[in-house]
Structure 1
Amino acid sequence: SFRIQQKESRCQCIFEGNEEHSGPSLLNNIYTELYITDGGSSEHTSEHEIRQIETASKHPATWDAPIKANDIFKASPESAKQIRTVLTKGIAGIGKTVSVQKFTLDWVEERANQDVCMIFPLPFREMNGIKEKKISLIHILECFFNLKTNPEVLHSNKYKVVFILDGLDECRFPLDFQNHRSCSSVTESVSVGVLLTNLICKNLLPSALVWITSRPAAAGQIPPDLIDRVTEVRGFNDSHKEEYFKKKISDPDLSSRIISQLKSSKVLHIMCHIPVFCWISATVLERIFRDSESGEIPKTLTQMYTHFLMFQIKHGSHKYDDNSKARLKWDNQTTLLLGKLAFQQLEMGNLLFYEEDLRECGIELDVALVYSGVCTQIFREESGLLQERVFSFIHASIQEFLAALYAFLMFVNYKRNVLSQTTNAKIISTFKKTPMHAFLKCAVDNALANKGCSGLASVLSSSLSCLRELDLTSNNLQDAGVKQLAAGLGNPQCKLETLRLMACELTRKSCAALAQALQSTSTSLKHLDLSLNDLQDSGVELLCSGLKSPSCKLETLSLSDCKITANGCSALSPALKSNPSHMRELDLSINNLTDSGVKHLILHCFCAFLRLNNCNLTHESCRMMGYVSKAEHSGLRELNLSANAILDSGLKQLSVALRHLLSGLQSLSVTYCGLTADGCAVLASALSSNQTQLKALDLRGNKLTDSGVKLLSHLLEDPQSKLEEFE
């Protein structure tokens, strides 16, 4: 039945190392008890996970209240509180997934929790595959487990049902606990985000037990009042480490030698709290000691991972003979491509990659499958219950190592600094040799910038924060920093109203993170400046998904000098139309919009302040403004068209519009627009009419001559004219 199906599917076996050679191992044969503690907080932490291991290792055992995985839903004897929702934290690779797998296996084999009727493991990495669909819980169970369930059984309080939501940090869809749509029926079709939110909030199946696992940085997404118990997987303690190596390596002398070697290095011994690192260490040290290989025995993380990578390269080189396709062989280019993937995805904070991520990185799918076959120990492929291919590195620290190696090799071999986002900085001048210390300083600056953003996100998420304005102009935040910052912007506790990110080395990826924050119903952000960043049209398109949201409260948006074209205006226009009530000020200056872009923009722009200076416009843009209905521009108060070739013909078009369609305009700037005295005559005539409200006029940088200046100067004394300032 269902128990047998669960056993035969995923919970009985575990892959350790290279699946192709060793095959799956029975979980019961290799499982070593993990150290799990009861109590703790779901608050966000910005500390690097390796530092978290070190901090935890210093805690006296008497500080912790250990708990077995099978007792995760059992209340302590002194507590009458019923445990229905559990959040288990733990750094990457510490054993969270193995713990839930063992929990399920013990239930299947009738070793524990026999009062439970059904267990449904629903990993977030597999939920990502249906994030775009509307689906019911019944349909999910049918698709994932090939199980037809009576809805009445799930809704009944007579049957105890457990849902395991593994890997919250891998979730790629929004979970909005503040203003989510209500769903109380297992047959109702909604988005998977709404479905899981209602399951956790107990609107859906209130009697169900829910177990959520997460890395510490993502645990704060779940409001604390929805959690009955917070536990933490600490991995292996010292006795567990020794037990693991004795099980893994049958030769007792060799296992003892490996244990002694690891104890001699503080950082390696601390890292052995992570089960997968124990396996990496065993793989490397067993080969060195057993084969009597020459060379220094690794004492640092970098040395350990370098030995591990060298082993993979040797293994991959022997995998395919000379008759194989050259592009399927393991070589230095293979390492570089994997490093590029590791680097780019690390910048985005991703541990999971899909086929589109590989293609974007230049890795073809068939080649990726070779990598995962040859090198499962570094890069692995999984097929979820929906048969979608998912790729990952076996641990976050492996990904970090390969990313660092990629950056180093690109600098040394290709004279490119990929740690800098700007094109000019990436291509190092052949006339000016950049020293290694400058490259290393860039790495340190990036690390500080990213850590600063995670710290700021933590501050913004605090109920004690009263921060209303934040200016990070000219800081090297990059996309990874903004992604961390955006997590704080979407927090219900965040009160920030003004955010300036000018010249922060951002790309389109930052726009995706900010758009998600703008869609949050709890956002307070009103003013956003992204000027002097390489966002391009694709970035504007991503940002528009946030601007369209009814939750967006943005009043001021600055996108000056962001490499936007008419295509960006085409995306921006419907976004402004769908949510016109808030946006008052829009700055698109120093972008190559052209007349075509303005044509898209003015149809739906209801802003009071519009800056289009230096946008490669002509008199045609002025003419098009004359065809827009008065209602659509009745709120426009300030218009800047400076540094555009609008010429006298364009100024004449504007002069006509000032009497009628732009009659509410109070400030007009047309500096350096190729104007002469002829244009001044028409403009003076328009401004002498009591139909215009223009108070400020800036015509600097034009060849007006004395006659033109005299015509306009007289308007300052004309009682019919509202003009007060003229330059």
Structure 2
Amino acid sequence: MDKVAVLTHILKQEVIATLLGGELPVSVIKSNRYISPLTTDGLAIDRNAEGNSLDGALQAALTEETRCVILTGPEGSGKTTALEKLVVGWAKGEHFQNFSYVFHFKFRELNSLTGTLSLETLLLHHHGHVPPESLPLILQNPADVLFVFDDLDQCKQSLDPSVHTLCSDHSQAASMSCLVASLLHGSLLKGAAFVVASRSTGSLKFLRGTGVKVLGFLKPQREVYFNRFFPDPASAEKARIHMEKTLGFYDICTSPRFCWTVCSVYKSLMDAGGKLPETLSQLYVQILVDLIKSLSLNEACSRGLVSALGKMASHCVLDQHSSCTEEEMNSFGFQQFLTSVGVFLQVHGDQSDRRVFSFHSSLMQEFLLAVSFFCDNSTPGGAEKMLENHKSHAKFLDLFLSGLSEPLQRRPLESLIGELNSDQLIDFKKWFKSHSQQTLQGFRREDHLRCFHLLLQAQNKSLVKEVIKPPARIGISYGDLSLQDCAALNYVITCLGELEELNLYHTKNLTEEQAERLAPTMSLARKINLSQSSLSPGAVSHLASALSGGITKELDLSHAHLGDEKLKLLCAGLRDCKLHTIKLTVCNLTEAMCEDLVAALTSGTSQLCVLNLTFNDIGDEGLTKLCQALQSPLCKLQDLQLHSCKLTAASMESLSAALCSGQSELREVNLNLNTIGERGVEALCKSLQHPLCKLRSLKLFDSDLTALCCPHLMAALMSEHCSLSELDLSVNDLEQEGALQLCQALRQPGCPLEKLSLQRCELTEQVFKELGSVLTSGTSQLKSLAVGINAVGDQGVKHIWDAVAHPSCLLEELDVEMTGLTDACLEDLCAAIRATKTLKSLELRNNSLTDASVPALVEVFQDSENMQEINLKYNDFSEEALSIMDECDKITY
């Protein structure tokens, strides 16, 4: 095979250059500006690197064992240029020298071949570089042959082997699709190798081989590309950043073709001192204006050409045609434009009666469809019907319509083709407003985001405020946003000026780029929810910057697994912000980060009042450090959640000292699930008796307490300086002796306790009797009592029912879950509900009430004026009884 002829043929191709087609592969190769696109495996950017660049991936994939490589990627991702580079490299002797023959075919050109032909005919007459005398060698040595098929998605007929009679004879004539299917499925020239490039298409399911997915250009490749395009590095940086940040469609920015188009338009505008486009619609208006100007048409002809292109676009979208014949083109109104459509369309085929026409870019196809809609006098059903008809295959149509509906964006185009149809514009705007308002009243994340994209394209601040007002449900979870979603959401929120809650729950990987785009929105959000999320260090830095100087009051990073280093970055923003609450539950924090928290809390500008460190292993050393902040007059912390933080009695002295310092503002401390023990409680109780201690709530759920702790607690509760109104001692072995000592304190006239939890504390009937006596004493302030999971049965709980019925009882909430209640308690229970003037909430889960109790329960709860909620879950009720309970909306079952 004549490699020189192959090389000459490729490098001397004469193809019309256009803004829409991207830089011609031959131009890229000859000018040595080729940058290999990325595959899914990596980020190599050196054009000579084999690593995970496309070139390297192809060479690694095509082996003696793997004879077919299937290259997939979106439009403009660099597949065609990469294949031409492959063939040029082979012809120059740079790679794939194990193949003696390389045949490069493009389906856009093969589609012009009609009728039947044999493999021999295809190779001899439609390739052009095979001397007839070489053909027998090719056919006898298939392992030396590599076929390169580009644009497989353009194949007009199926490659399903079941619909063809596959051929094995080199001289047998068959249809083009049958010939290709026979080659790919091995019945013809078995042993040959193949590289096939295609967009995602159903035909791929019929192929077997190694798949290589093309990503195109990520940020490093774009940087290299723009720097090679623009002579001035500052101009290159300005253009790239503007494209990435402003246009808001980052998946499109991965396309080398799109990058070339943008660079070409931007360079022209920058050289002329013009303003760069703010939206995708403005970009394509500029492209269309440049293309029309290049044809020097008058206004009527320009409008006629745009109308014809719009009709062709609609035909291609609706009928899923990638190309059109000349006859079809004439039916669209192209008769007078066929000699000049090359700037808009690809033209394939040498003979006029066999020529086919297709769009260079699906984006331009959809943009022209949008323009033609606004050019028409009327469209049956208006914008809604038009969008409904095209929605399955037109991804950007509504976005282009939104952009064109704004006068500022369409004005340059109207100067060439005349004003767009006012009725169509009004119809679209009417649909857009009603559709957006209806969408934003719902809870579908995808629909919300699409609406934001439309508003971004419109670039109309007053429209945003008109569309987004109550009852719009801005604040549903928008987790896992793409970069373009971030840009759209950020535009909308900056137009609104503030956001009640930015809900990014369960964002799997918030990158630095995403956080950078969202930073203005973060600074305008009163609450940020990033629970169950994963943040990169760069994202944390942008979050910290957004908090600093922003209006955010609450930040939820629960289960974000930050780690100490990321928290250090975050603390930089905590020193100068309006943050009131931060939740850091399960964030993999240790005592090492406590110094950073101390610095933030004592910065003098921190407003932090609530700090939740639940399920972090800060240990005693960590809490001791935090106590330094608590003793500072600059620390405003009021609520400290230390649930399951590996704490012991060793750090309670430090906490007690802080509480007594006179500087601490702490009102609530949660020490649940720590090993506090008697010594720890003793230290805490000393602070509770101190006149400078302001603590109102102390939670010691499952904290290794016994009856030995109760004398200390009793002394604290009876102290004249104690201000504790809530105490949780649940899941501790207090037993009868300890609980009775507590009751002694509760009976004291000055005891401030209003909420007491004693669930699963090994309480006895005697304790319940004493609690009942306390509740009716006239001195108790208790309004909430939880004594569930103590097996005292009906007789034990009867003391509580009797107390509830007493006029001196102030209880509003009562929890007697899993206490062994049966139907025998019904009379006492109902009597208590009828008599009480205060009880609002009753917890009766996990008892043994049956259907027999249901009618009376429903009746008494319905009749009660003050009762608001009753939980009867997990009792022994039948389906029939549950249906009866439906009659009372206060009952949960």
TM, length-normalised to structure 1 = 0.48
- Radius of gyration: which is bigger? 2
